[in-house]
Amino acid sequence: MTTVIETRDLVRRFGEGETMVTALDHVSVTIEEGEFTAIIGPSGSGKTTLLQLIGGLDEPSEGDVFLSGTNIAHMSGTELSDFRRDHIGFIFQSYNLIPVLSAEENIEYIMLLQGISEKNRKDRVKEMLALVGLEGLGDRRPAQLSGGQQQRVAVARAMASKPDIILADEPTANLDSATGIALLDVMRELNKQMNMTFVFSTHDQKIMDRADRLIHLEDGRIHLDERRTP
């Protein structure tokens, strides 16, 4: 199997002196291509911090983060932005869609930055809208869509550029139970069909039930790494 994520002795501290807090304490983990993994633990355990470090949204105090063999831990500026754009898809709790753009335009945006041809962009947007069950709604702006529909657009946007990994931070937190289940079933099916690697940071039991691996964090350390059959 191909390793797509590897962290080595990852440490993240916040603050200084007596107020310093160690959010992650020498975390080493390897995630293979096609895994559907949930990072879980109580509030303050470090799971969101770990996801942000994996995604290059934060810089570690110590240690390394390898994505598809490239160490991004101390990248900065344009180099890091370009790497994130080409290799990582993000799904956030708050959707983070661009309000003035339609669903189609939100999905297309990253591919536009990548310089993908218009025809290929349009074909890919059409394919992604169909995959997430939003055919016929591509011309609607986020305010014209329900929360569940907006999060489906976010999922389509994350996957449209065919990244190596999808990182999802509490993606179902703002959704009702039925909508959350439907969205997770879409992501799980896409994971199986396209062998995309999903990593979640979550409290949601519905995600845990569908994950094939649970990484339990406590006080910034891996307490248990559980591989399971969902």
Query: Residue with structure tokens 């900065």?
Result: 76
Q: Residue 179: how many CA atoms within 13 Å on its side-chain side? A: 13
Burial (0-12, 13-18, 19+ Cβ within 10 Å), 208: middle
Classified as helix, coil or strand, 60 is: coil
Q: Which CATH architecture has domain 3-227?
A: 3-Layer(aba) Sandwich (3.40)
Q: Is the pLDDT of residue 210 over 80?
A: yes
Residue 132 contacts residue 154 (beta carbons within 8 Å) = no
- Coarse DSSP helix, strand, coil percentages of the chain, rounded to the nearest 5 percent: 40, 30, 35
pLDDT tens column, 133-162? 899 999 999 999 998 899 889 989 998 888
Q: Is the pLDDT of residue 220 over 70?
A: yes
Domain boundaries, the chain: 3-227
pLDDT tens column, 1-59? 799 999 999 999 999 888 999 999 999 999 999 999 999 999 889 999 999 999 999 99
**What distances in angstroms separate CA 16 from CA 9, 13, 219, one per listed residue?**
20, 8, 18
Per-residue pLDDT, averaged over 104-108, amounts to: 95
pLDDT tens column, 59-87? 999 999 999 999 999 888 899 999 998 89
**What distances in angstroms separate CA 36 from CA 15, 139, 189, one per listed residue?**
33, 31, 11
Could you tell me the pTM of the whole model? 0.90
Residue 67 contacts residue 54 (beta carbons within 8 Å) = yes
67's enclosing H/E stretch is strand 62-67
Q: List phi, psi (to 5°) of 219.
A: 50, 40
